[in-house]
A and B are shown apart, each in its own frame.
Chain A
Amino acid sequence: MSSIDKIDKWGLNYIRKTRFYLKISAILPIYTIIIGIINLGFLIYLYTISTESHKVIPIHGIIVFICFISILLISLLQFLFLRKWNLKIKVYNKMIKIEKNDNSNVLDENINKNIKMDEMSLTDIFYEVINHMEKIRKLFIILNIFSAIYIFYNSLMFVRLFIFIKKAFILIFQTIRYLNLSVAIVLIIYLIYMWHHYIKWNKKLKKLKNYEIMISQELNL
């Protein structure tokens, strides 16, 4: 196996791992959008039918809503970046396939022409994700703060609303309570998963920084 084949293999293995991460990253935004719409409908309905809920809903509701939107935006941003990155990887994969075809003299000129236009290197792909890691690391701290507030107020609000629900004892209210509980659980799982990545990214960025310093010293930059 040639050096570049080995490098391509490592690169593609990494890309495969990141694709799984992309799928996981899609779960939270999709899930929170669905639950958010249900919640909004539920809160408006509750507000209209119960005067007691007027004391609880505005303050807690606004806090939960702000946190909810922030979490949604950050997770959506993360997902959209990975999606964009994934599309570039598809082009890179095609490029590698064409290189293989070049070697075995099986060449489709039309495909080759299209790919040459968007030619990109493994270095570009790696550096794009590295730059993203550095940005998302800062956003991740904000995500944690919003998530903590969200989980706390969401639980508090629905414990308090339980009083009204008990009075009304309607099945739909119970279902919504559990759906909201599930958002908190999904959010906690998502955060654990993100923390796991955060630690790994920190290690990688540290190694990369040392590597970059070493190269700069060797080249006398």
Chain B
Amino acid sequence: MVKKNYRTSNMIIQNILEGILRENKKNPVIQKGIKKSHLIVYCKLKTITAEKYLIKMTNAGYIRLFEETWGERIIKIYDITKLGRERYEWFVKINAEVG
């Protein structure tokens, strides 16, 4: 039971990190980070679940949140930190190196 929870949580976390990295790659010069709504769609998550993980990841220093104004609206944007990048690279390395 505990193991399964770890697995599901980690899948979500890695998907969030990958989503930000991919978005940054699309336009590395202009763009920095991904809109919260786009990230939720990319990870195929319910808003409430996504928010729970985004808060935890921000508090752990994996991602950072900043706000941008777009007309009258305020858009929430998430970007990956050095720690978050390291953690995702670590995950891919474990998978890619062995077997």
Contact = CB atoms under 8 A, between A and B. Distances in A.
B7 A212 contact: yes
B92 A102 contact: no
Given A14-B97, A99-B22, 13 more contacts: A2-B24, A6-B89, A7-B21, A103-B26, A119-B42, A121-B18, A126-B92, A200-B98, A200-B99, A216-B10, A218-B60, A218-B62, A219-B56
Q: Which of B6, B18, B99 gathers the greatest number of chain A CB atoms within 10 Å? A: B99
A221 interface: yes
Nearest to A95: B22
A212 B3 CA distance: 9
A13 interface: yes
Interface string A10-39: 110110000000000000000000000000
A204 B94 contact: yes
Interface string A173-217: 000000000000000000000000100110110011101110110
A119 B94 CA distance: 23
Interface of B: 3, 5-7, 9-11, 13-15, 18-19, 21-22, 24-26, 28, 42, 56-57, 59-60, 62, 85, 87-99
A3 B89 contact: yes
Interface of A: 2-7, 10-11, 13-14, 99, 102-103, 119, 121-124, 126-127, 130, 133, 197, 200-201, 203-204, 207-209, 211-213, 215-216, 218-221
A206 to B, nearest CB: 9
A205 to B, nearest CB: 9
A212 B9 CA distance: 9
A10 B18 contact: no
B32 to A, nearest CB: 13
Per CB-CB distance, the 8 closest pairs between chain A and chain B, nearest first, are: A200-B99, A10-B96, A14-B96, A123-B14, A204-B98, A212-B6, A4-B21, A4-B25
Contact of A3 (B21, B42, B56): B21
A122 B13 CA distance: 13
Nearest to B93: A10
A102 B42 CA distance: 17
Contact of A2 (B14, B25, B93, B99): B25
Contacts of B57: 219
A11 B89 contact: no
B2 to A, nearest CB: 9
30 contacts: A2-B24, A4-B21, A4-B22, A4-B24, A5-B25, A11-B96, A102-B26, A121-B18, A121-B42, A123-B15, A123-B18, A123-B91, A127-B11, A201-B99, A203-B99, A204-B95, A207-B98, A209-B6, A211-B91, A211-B94, A212-B7, A212-B9, A213-B6, A216-B10, A218-B62, A219-B9, A219-B13, A219-B56, A220-B60, A221-B9
Nearest to A207: B94
A39 to B, nearest CB: 34
Contacts of B88: 7
